Amino acid sequence: MSIGPVEYMIVGFPGSQFNGHIAPELAKLVGSGTIKIIDLVFIAKDKDGNAVAVEFDEHDALEPFGSIDGEVGGVISPEDIEHAAEALEPGDSAALLIWEDTWAAPLVEAMRSSGGVLIEGARIPNDIIEPALAALS
């Protein structure tokens, strides 16, 4: 079995404000086979600055995430949760998501079978790539 690149992201929500737009878009990516969710944890920082993991059914705005297909659970550690919470202010929350780029699995397999070895890879932040691309047009 070939596995595509695995990525993670931490998305912060100042004031723990959710608008419900993320879950449907994430569900589309999973449904189309573009990505596979490996783990997803919601984190909140209470008024005393303590980090807590929040379950889907503990907050109305998170319930739509519970219906998204995925192998959610077991990869994100308590240390990962603490790391994600470091950037949060009391009253803020975050989502920590780990996913496989399933769309890239055939390319990765072709690279491996050709003797290729990944030397380096990174995600280029939007605030860097957008101006660079705009300068080309």
Model pTM score: 0.84
Task: Say how far apart CA 72 and CA 102 lie, in whole Å.
Answer: 16
Task: Say how far apart CA 94 and CA 26 lie, in whole Å.
Answer: 16
- Domain layout of the chain by residue ranges: 6-136
Tell me: the pLDDT tens digits for 110-131?
999 999 998 988 889 899 999 9
Q: What's residue 98's pLDDT?
A: 93
Task: Say how far apart CA 57 and CA 71 lie, in whole Å.
Answer: 17
Q: What's residue 105's pLDDT?
A: 92
Task: Quote the strand ranges of 2-136, DSSP E.
Answer: 6-13, 36-45, 51-54, 93-100
Residue 7, φ and ψ in degrees, nearest 5: -125, 165
Tell me: the pLDDT tens digits for 49-94?
999 888 777 777 777 787 787 766 789 999 999 999 999 999 999 9
2, 109 contact by CB (below 8 A): yes
